[in-house]
Amino acid sequence: MKHVLVAAASSELASEVIPKLLDGEYRIGLHYSSNKKAVEPYEEYEQVKLIQCTIAGESDCARIVDEYVEWAGSIDSIVIFLGNISCTCHWEEIEKEHLVDEYLFNAVYPFMLAKYAQRYMKEKGAGRILFVSTASVRRGGGSTTIGYGMAKAALECAVKRMARDLAPNGILVNAVAPGFFDTQFNRKRKGLTEEDVAERVAMIPLKRGGKKEEIASTVLYMLSEGAGFITGQIITVDGGDFL
């Protein structure tokens, strides 16, 4: 039995990962903040534990990891979907408070979750840490989502450093970087219209947006034995968008 903690499991992209984990031999921790409806269907499974916590500081990150390990007895992997866009104004208008919020939820708190998870992984000499970044880091983010892009770029820096430092302990650290996926996250947080979506899709060489199950399959591969020699990498899933 493998032990995996999914942080921000109520996110849209995580919704496709959870059923695939249930098909395998996993004891699964599903962390969520306020959207219990997204994870409630899994509450009845014996191999699943729901962990409610609205992250407001480092101690919350520690509590989430500790609560999972106390229940599961161990942790092999952590998949961190945590992320947010708090401001969609043009970068010329963005204020310091917006940037601070973006860094906290897209870089600092994901890093802290990994920091506490790796301590348990070191004890057993193996583990997987998988962050979720964004392919738009490659082109400097978006004009109206620059804080999000800057924070994810910082997170990718952490991937490289942690991967190098934790390799001797058998811990692999990577990130999955989705390109354009037609999700409510994109539509609501970025304020995209149908026309915006159509224009964005037209820019992608494959002429379509990504499917959530494609991210889920990538995540499952990165947790599998087949990915045992991959670390410090940003796995981009973008249909050739930024070639």
Q: H/E element holding 157?
A: helix 146-166
Catalytic pick among 26, 120, 148, 221: 148
Instruction: Note if 148 is an active site residue.
Output: yes
In angstroms, the first-to-last Cα distance of the chain is 39
Collapse the DSSP code of 164 into the 3-class scheme (helix H, G, I; strand E, B; otherwise coil) and give the result.
helix
Residues 185 and 213 sit within 8 Å (Cβ to Cβ) = no
Burial class of residue 60, CB neighbours in 10 A (0-12, 13-18, 19+): middle
What is the C-alpha separation between 73 and 1, in angstroms, rounded? 11
Residues annotated as catalytic (active site), given as ranges? 148
